[in-house]
Every structure is written in C-alpha cells, then in structure tokens.
Structure 1
Amino acid sequence: MYKVYRFLSGFAFLASVATAQAQNLGNSPYSATGVGDINESTGSVRSFGMGNVGVGTPASAYINSSNPALLYYNNRVTFEMGIGGQAKQLSDEVGKQRDADGSLNYLGLALPLSKRWSTAIGLRPFSTVNYEYVSEGAVNGDPSTKIVNSYTGNGNLSEVFFGHGIRVAKRLNIGVSASYLFGAVERESTAQLVNESDVSLSAERLVISERSNYNGLLFKGALAYRQPLSKKWSLNVGTVYTLGNDLTTKRRTVQERRLASDLVLSRNYLGDSITTTTHLPQGIQFGLSVDNGQSLVVGADFSAQKWSDYKSGLSTEKLADSYRVAVGAEYIPNPASINSYFQRIGYRAGFGIGKTPLELNGKQVNDVSLHWGFTLPIGGSPRPPEYTQSLLNLGFAIGRRSNGESSTLQEKYFRIQLGFSLNSNWFIKPKID
C-alpha cells in the first residue's frame, strides 16, 4: 500500500509542475487563430514514433490515451511521463527565423481495477498559443508615413483526462473518457505610425491587450475490437468519437495609448471580465492494425474534426475542417530475449499527412511529417516474481506546414519526445516456497 501512496503522491507533484510550466514550442504564427495549435500527439511516445498512430493499436506496456477502449489491455499498473522539444524554421518571401524550446509534455497513470476494467488518469497539453510577428503598410495620401502593426500571443490550454476501458463481450471493448480543459491566453496587437521626418508622430502607439481564461469539459466515447486472423496474427479495429462542447470563456480587453518608453498615456476597458463561450467542434477517429502479439505491429489512423463549427464569443474568425491520415509500424526482434539486450529494443517508424484548420490566402495549410523512434528497456527482462518493466522511449519527427505557395509562410520543424514508462504488478500475493 505504501508503494501505491508513493506513486500517487509523486504523480500529483509532477502534475502540478506540468501545469505550472506552460507548453512553449517556439514562435508559430499558425497558433494565432482559434485556441491555438491543437496537440495532435495525444498518445504516448510509442504512438508519436509511429506517426501518432494509436486508435487501433493496443499495447499493455503503454497508456493509450488516443482510444480509451484500449486501456483494457493495461493489466499492470503503468506510469508514464514524457518531455518534448522542438526546433523550427519559419520562412516567407521576406526572410527566415529560427526558434527552439521545450517542456514537460505529459503524465499518465493506469490502474487495472478488475480483469475486465482498467482506468487511467493523466495530464497533457491540449493547445498552445505562441506567436510574434510584424506587418507594415503605407498610409493613403502620405507616402512618407507607414503604419507598423505587431501581434503577439502566449498561453495554452491543458487537459486533465480520466478514461476507462471495459471488456463487454468476447474481443469487444468500450471506452469512455472525460477531460477537464483549462488555461489562459494573452494576446496583444499594436499599431504605430512611423515617419522619419516627424519624430513626434512615431513616439505614440495604440495597444489592445486581451486575456482569455478558458475552462470546460470534454467527453469521448470509444470502441475497440480484436479479431484473430490465424494462430499468430490478429486484426484490431478502433474508433473514437469526440463530442462537441462549450468552454466557459472570461475575456478582458484593454485599449491603451503608450509612448515608446511604454509609459501609458490613457487606458480604456473595452470589456472587463465579459463571460462568453468557445465552442469546440465534434471529431471522429478510426484506426486499424495487424499484429502478431509479440514483435510486429502495423497500423493506420484517420481523424477528422469539423472546425468550421468553431465559435468564440464575438469573434468572427473562420476555421476549416481538418483531417489527418497516418501509418506506422513497430518491430521488436525478440521481446523475451534473455541473452541479447539488442533483441529487446523496439524500433518504430511512421508517416502522417493532413490539413490543419488554418487557411492562408484562401488555401488550407497542410502538415506533412515523418516519424521514427526507439524503446530501450531498462534492467533485465521482466519475469516473475517482480513483474516489473521499465522502458526509456525516444521519438523523433521532421515535418513541414504550408499552404503550398512558396511566397507565403512556411514552417519546417524537428520534434523530439523523451518518455519513461514503468510497469509493475503491485497486488500480487507473495508465495512461500
């Protein structure tokens, strides 16, 4: 019982640290709309290394938060944590910019409650806002004066999820998941007239600051089915439906006139703690895989979300429906090998392509990525009476986001995830020889 208490206490502490450290993955103008960049990597580092494939790929050593119905296969207590980092290059017809950052990425704890029922709790990023860019334009009738607009945004939404996977019939599982979304986003836009011959005109700027606090619930329903194809091979099919939901949004908007020294000349509250709602749309995911139960799994996922139904208070911004297709595979030469450590290393690779909710110049932004990764077992091979297995997981991805036009904004990125997974049977009765 002491071991259970120690792990739960450690999980609560790490969760508080993760909440305090907002996910920040470098400047991305693509995060300026909606609630920001939506986290596509909702599974473990294993899923990330396979191209974020996970809706139809069961695994007992990892927490599958992509499809709660697959939590049924967590027949041992499983604790996972991961950190993530990213380096990116932004470019357009004007120039290039490089950024890099990282943070604690996710935490999860799965518990088998019975032979037919397992549950999991966890914390992960839901979306991230982090951008900063500047635009310039001419003033009509005055060629010597230009207007400079700057835009910045920072913040994130986090997700605490509570999922269940239950075996309801032979080979058929159902799953449900409830999440609490919370976070704050701050945005600021600045307009300034610049005239080299009139310094006084350039000394003042108009600043509009907006802070939005979000909170609300998110629900998912899921199914998973496993069908043997032969003595060695099985087919897995899974689906997840995400209900549309409304987040309570409290928004505070302030308009200020400032000098170059940031001295405030005047302040006007355009909206002080106005409460509105932000509607997140429904989504659907399908996944399938084929595995031999030990060393090889090949899977594919499809996901779609109706972002054209997104609404946020008085905002008029429009988003487009998104979708994503991914394929991936995992190979472990001999998971039970005692003589060779390298036979127990897991190798993964995957590929993903899709369209994001954002449009530039009337064209939807594409996201294409190539993934790969490894699992390095820690310690000896798991066998009775310990039933304990520790895994170090590495995942990598390179990708590009653009609308296909070379003159518009393009983003090339390199992402890395590092995760730790611990599996243990805490409730085995000791045997006396």
Structure 2
Amino acid sequence: MMNKFLAGVCLLISAFAMAQQSSYSPYSYYGLGEQRFKGTAEYRAMGGISFFADSIHVNLQNPAAFSALKLTTFSVGGTTSFADLSTEDMSQKAKRTTLDYLAVGLPFKKGGAVFGLMPYASTGYNLVNYSAMPSGDSTRTYYEGKGGINRVFAGAGYEITKNFRFGLSFNYNFGTVDTESREYIYGVQYGTRESTSSRLSGFSMDAGITYEGKIGKKLRVYGGLTYTPETKMTVKNQRYISLIEESNGGYSTIQIDTANVANIKVKMPSAFSVGGGIGKPRKWLVGAEVTFRNTAGQQSRFGSYGNVQFENAIKYGIGGYYIPNYNSFTSYLSRITYRAGAKYEKTGLMLNSKSIEDASGTVGLGFPVPGLFSNINLGVEYGKRGTVYSGLVQEQYVNVSIGLSFNDRWFLRRKYE
C-alpha cells in the first residue's frame, strides 16, 4: 500500500512539473506573473474563504487549520480554464489545464503537519502588435512568454486551547520564466529577436490563527487570521539579441549576441487576511473574508516597467456550504455538500492609469465516496478580469476545478500480532 502511494506521489510530482500550461493572460507579463489561488477546490468553490478548519479537508491557506485534521489526508486538484480575451475591436479564445496542488496531511494528538507542492504564479501569453513608425514604415511585433513559479511547502498547526489554533508554513519558491519579442519592419529582410530567461528562487512563510466558539447548543462562530511577511526573491537573468529571418511560417537565426542584464532581487509582497462566519457543524456555514497584499512598488523580473504602476491589492470573498443530512443512510443526495461564493479583487496592477479588477461567482459540489471518509469536490467559477477600455484586454473566464481528498487512518498500533 505504501509503495503504491509513494509511486503515485512521484508520478503526480512529475505531472505537476510537465503539465503546467502556465497562463493565457496578457497581464501575466507584469510583476511575478498571474497570482494563482493557493487553496483547494472545496475552498475555492466558497469564494476562497479560509477562516475555518475542517477535519477531512486540508486548508492550505491557513496553516492553523492543519491541527484540525483527524485522518491522514492526501489531496490533489486541478483546473481547466476557458476564456474569451477581448479588446474594443477583436476577441480570441484561450484554454489551459493545470495541476493546482498536491498535499499530504498527517494528524497528531493536538496538531497536524502538511507538506506538498503548488504553483505560486504563472506566465503565459502570445500576442502580436501592428504599428506605424514615425518614418512611415509599418512594424509587426510578436510577444511570447511562458513559465512560472512553483512552491514546495511544509507546515504544522497546534491546538492551543479548545477554541484557538495556531500554525506556521515554510515555503521554497522556484521557477523559470522565458520571454521573447520579435520585431519585423515591412520591406526589410531581417528582423530582430530579444529573448530573456529568468530563474527565480526564494523562501517565504505563512502564519495563521483560527478561532471556533459556541453560540448556544447548536451554532458555532468562526474566525481566522493569516499573515505573510514580505521576503525577497532572487532573479538571475540571461538575455540574447538575435538577427532573424522569417521562413516557412517560423524564423531562422542569422546572428545571436549576449546582452548584459543585471541579476536583481524582487519582493514577494506581504499579505494579511481576516475573516469570520457562523454555522452549524456538518450542516451549514456562511462567512466573509478580506485579504490585503502590499503590492505597491512591485518590480518586474528584470527591472522597472516605465509607466506601468502597482497599487496595494485587496480581495473580498463571501461564501459557505450546506449539507442536507450528513448521516443519511437512504439518500445519497442528502450527503452531498453544496457550496457557493463570490469574490471581488483589485489585483494591484495598474495599466494606463486603470486598476485591473477581477470579480467572479462560484458554485461547487462535494461528493462523499461510499464506505470511505474520502470525497470528490467539483467547482465552477465564472468571472471577468480587466476591461476593453483604455486600450486594455478583458478576460471573461470559466474555471472548472476538481479536487480529490483521500482520507484514511495510518500509523495505528496493532492490538494483536
């Protein structure tokens, strides 16, 4: 059993490294890329709220919740995204499939530990721009980017009292982002190509607290705080300038030179979230959460942006779940968990003096596996990011997520030999 589990983990880690389709968003060019949701499918389906702990689901957003696990938990999840990218005069469809997280949770008497792997940020775009030069010549420029930053994490939570839990998670962030631009002038035989490869690495940490108290005999009140201090990420850059010639739908390199570009350090912004809610255990819950990120003054992977600006980011989320009858023996539909939520976010990115905003609604279902503590969680998110005005791009997207949570009792002492 253990050998099969370890083999499965190795295969999934390999798939994680190979299956990342990065991003379809042109906004992923800026900063550290498109910030990825760092939670599981079940929390994402509730608007991304993370202030409460669950005994059979790993809460990756608040490490204090690790101590609530009652069973050894193996969680894996992925998302397929469909998007329409629109400007004022044209549109294009995009699609990506990603593995979102891979985590193992181990419970202890008054605590729990979780380790795993997830993406932190993604870069992926393929654009073309046609423009006229002051001389009257026309140019055609292609912009391409791919790659991202992944995160290996390990953390632990502890139940301080019956009401309070505390936890810490330590992360190693690493990845490579490759970008290039190719420019052609009509009537000129050769074009130019500039390519940059950035290798990023750095450490970070997260701290969290959760609270759970009683209201009367049946209701519970929940609260949660998380804090991520600002850290630095090292960026090692390599840049090449090439003379190229178009051929057979592609291009061939005529000459290539190395360009000097400095290695830099960019900040991973600090973040703080606070949330709370009310509910009846194993029946229903509703709550809200707000997250602040100190993204003002963010840099690119290889220096400043010129007139592009960053402001502090803020995200609001509301959501909850409902279970008709957790212990029903006659109706499987009554044991399904029904989830819903919504979020609104100012991403922190400003282009042409316009804040890039993101808003979405979510729904989800949690299907218990008969005879086991395991479950399958599905979620659908519909949203919009950006705008077609001010020369920008609007992304209208649908994210379909699936998460698998396998739970079992490990490390039990045998009563009989």
Fold-level similarity (TM above 0.5): yes
Displacement after TM superposition at 1:430 (Å): 5.5
Larger CA deviation: 45-54 vs 398-407 = 398-407
Tell me if structure 2 keeps the 8 A contact 1:23–1:104: no
Question: Which amino acid is the alignment partner of residue 90 of structure 2?
Answer: G
| SS of equivalent to 2:310 | coil
Q: Deviations over 1:172-192 (max 9, x none)?
A: 111100011111000001222
Distance in structure 1 (CA, Å) of the matches to 2:65 and 2:16? 25
Residues 149-298 of structure 1: pairs in structure 2 closer than 5 A: 149-194=141-186, 199=187, 201=188, 203-261=189-247, 262-271=251-260, 274-298=262-286
Equivalent of 1:109, from 104, 110, 116? 104
CA contact (8 A) 1:23 1:105 kept: no
Q: What amino acid does structure 1 have at the position aligned with 2:289?
A: D
- Find the aligned partners of 2:391 and 2:204 in 1 and give their Cα distance: 38
Q: Do the aligned residues in 2 keep the contact of 1:277 with 1:312 (CA within 8 Å)?
A: no
In structure 2, how many angstroms separate the alpha carbons of the residues matched to 1:155 and 1:413?
21
Q: Match for residue 396 of structure 2?
A: 412
- Once the two structures are TM-superposed, the CA of residue 312 in structure 1 deviates from its matched residue by 4.6
**TM-score, normalising length: structure 1:** 0.90
Please, which moves more after superposition, 416-425 or 12-21? 12-21
Instruction: Note the C-alpha offset of 1:21.
Output: 2.3
Please say which of residues 213-222 and 261-270 is displaced more in the overlay: 261-270
Asked if the contact 2:234–2:264 (Cα under 8 Å) also holds between the matched residues in 1, the reply is yes
Cα distance in 2 for partners of 1:429, 1:299 equals 40
8 Å Cα contact 2:285/2:321 also seen in 1: yes
Equivalent position amino acid for 2:326 in 1: P
Between the aligned partners of 2:111 and 2:53, the Cα distance in structure 1 is 15
Contact 2:106 2:114 in 1 (8 A): yes
| Counterpart secondary structure, 1:169 | coil
**Structure-2 separation of matches of 1:5 and 1:241:** 37
Q: Secondary structure at the match of 1:15?
A: helix
> Is 1:344 aligned with 2:332?
no
CA deviation profile, 1:214-265 (whole Å, cap 9, x unmatched): 1111111111111211211111111111111111211100011111132322
Give the residue type in structure 1 aligned to 2:99.
L
Distance 1:9 1:115 in 2: 28
Using the TM superposition, give the Cα deviation of residue 286 of structure 1 relative to its aligned residue in structure 2, in angstroms: 1.1
Q: Structure 1 pair 141/14, CA: closer, same or farther in 2 (3 Å)?
A: closer
Match of 1:35 in 2: 32
Displacement of 1:375 after TM fit?
0.8
Letter paired with 1:268: D
Structure 1 residue aligned with 2:62: 67
Aligned equivalents of 1:254 and 1:51: distance in 2? 43
Q: Is the 8 A contact 1:186 1:212 kept in 2?
A: yes
Tell me what 1:310 maps to. 298
* Partner of residue 318 from structure 2, selected from 316, 327, 337: 327
Task: Specify whether residues 285 and 251 from structure 1 end up closer, same or farther in structure 2 by C-alpha distance, changes over 3 A only.
Answer: same
Distance 1:168 1:159, change over 3 A: same
In the alignment, which residue of structure 1 is the partner of 2:15?
A: 17
Query: Is the Cα contact below 8 Å between 2:87 and 2:389 reproduced in 1?
Result: no
Closer, same or farther: CA 184–120 of 1 in aligned 2, 3 Å: same
TM-score by length of 2: 0.94
Q: How many residues align?
A: 410
Matched residue, 1:300: 288
Which consecutive residues of structure 2, in runs of 5 or more, have no partner in the other structure? Answer: none
Shift of residue 346, structure 1, vs aligned partner: 0.7
Counterpart CA distance in 2 for 1:115 and 1:231 is: 26
**Aligned residue in 1 for 2:91:** 96
CA distance in 2, matches of 1:340, 1:428: 32
Cα deviation per residue 1:151-188 (whole Å; 9 max; x = unaligned)? 11111111111121111233111110001111100000
RMSD value, Cα: 1.8
The answer for the alignment partner of 1:385 in structure 2 is: none
Q: What CA distance in whole angstroms lies between the structure 2 residues aligned with 1:302 and 1:332?
A: 25
Distance (Å, rounded) in 1 between the aligned partners of 2:3 and 2:349:
45
Deviation at 1:119, TM superposition (A): 0.4
Q: Secondary structure at the match of 2:59?
A: coil
Tell me whether 1:129 sits opposite 2:118 in the alignment.
no
1:427 corresponds to: 411
* CA distance in structure 1 between the partners assigned to 2:183 and 2:391 by the alignment: 25
Is 1:402–2:386 an aligned residue pair?
yes
SS in 1 for 2:64: helix
Cα deviation code 1:332-378 (max 9, x no counterpart): 11111122111101101000001112222201011010100001111
Shift of 1:9: 4.2
Q: Distance in 1 between matches of 2:301 and 2:15?
A: 31
* C-alpha contact 2:151 2:174 (8 A) present in aligned 1: yes
Aligned 8 A contact 1:129 1:155 in 2: yes
Letter in 2 for 1:155: G
